[in-house]
């Protein structure tokens, strides 16, 4: 019997890598998707070493043509996509009054339009087959605002709105669409945020890291594998009746 197929963006590191490894362990053939081949190849080799099936697929989600090509390639290698995980994202910060247009456009192109491109390329096939799961990795910033990150917050609010709207259309077609909203994570993206805050304020990195950790209810940074656990649940049979939700981690 053929393995079900998962298409995971931003899968070369952090949360995307953790989800790819977890879904492979759960029996999925995984398209490990991202902009840089080297980390994608490393994750694919790791999955194969554990007995799983994975293929690296280079793709810039902000480019519609790239996405269409990547989906065709993944489906040629592994078959129709059963689970789409939109994890690719960027986070930059700047005071709103001095934020340049390029930062705004770049952030929305990757975080929001990239999610749309992937959904637009894959969801119609799910509707036709009357099965599929879409899991959009949003953020706590999809629900509340944070200073100096207007573009990021707006993009993640958009991802959540897109999730909820498409979930309504998906419900009668056997497809679910949900968002996962992590707090501050123990990933490279958070380390980049720490570096920016240190450069701006002169504070000690450990002090900044502790401040960000305290913003999570647990008082610590969230591990990528904890987000992967939620994604795995949403992809599972047990998650079949969860739709249109924004699940905090």
Known catalytic residues? 152
**Cβ contacts of 183 within 8 Å, gap of 6 or more:** 140, 215, 216, 217, 222, 248, 249
Q: Interior CA angle at 174 toward 71 and 44, to 5°?
A: 35
Enter the tokens of residue 27.
Answer: 């029996």
**Crossing angle of the two packed helices 37-49 and 14-25, in degrees rounded to 10:** 30
Coil, strand, or helix at residue 66? helix
Query: Is 156 within 8 Å of 138 (Cβ atoms)?
Result: yes
């Amino acid at each position: 019997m053929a393995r079900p197929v998962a298409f995971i963006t931003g899968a070369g590191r952090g949360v995307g890598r953790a989800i790819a490894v977890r879904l492979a362990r759960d029996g999925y053939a995984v398209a490990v998707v991202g902009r840089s081949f080297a980390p994608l190849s490393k994750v694919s080799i790791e999955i194969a070493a554990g007995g799983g099936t994975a293929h690296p697929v280079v793709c810039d989600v902000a480019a519609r043509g790239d996405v269409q090509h990547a989906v065709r390639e993944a489906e040629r290698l592994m078959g129709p996509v059963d689970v789409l995980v939109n994890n690719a994202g960027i986070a930059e910060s700047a005071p709103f009054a001095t934020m340049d247009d390029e930062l705004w456009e770049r952030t929305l192109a990757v975080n929001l339009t990239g999610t749309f491109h992937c959904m637009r390329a894959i969801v119609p096939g799910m509707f036709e087959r009357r099965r599929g799961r879409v899991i959009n990795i949003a953020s706590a910033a999809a629900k509340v605002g944070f200073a100096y990150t207007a573009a990021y917050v707006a993009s993640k609010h958009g991802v959540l709105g897109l999730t909820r709207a498409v979930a309504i259309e998906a419900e009668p077609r056997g497809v679910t669409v949900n968002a996962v909203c992590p707090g501050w994570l123990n990933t490279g993206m958070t380390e980049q945020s720490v570096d920016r805050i240190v450069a701006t304020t002169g504070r000690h990195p450990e002090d900044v890291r502790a401040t960000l950790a305290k913003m999570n209810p647990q008082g610590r940074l969230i591990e990528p594998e904890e987000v992967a656990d939620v994604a795995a649940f949403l992809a599972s049979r047990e998650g079949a009746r969860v739709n249109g939700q924004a699940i905090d981690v």
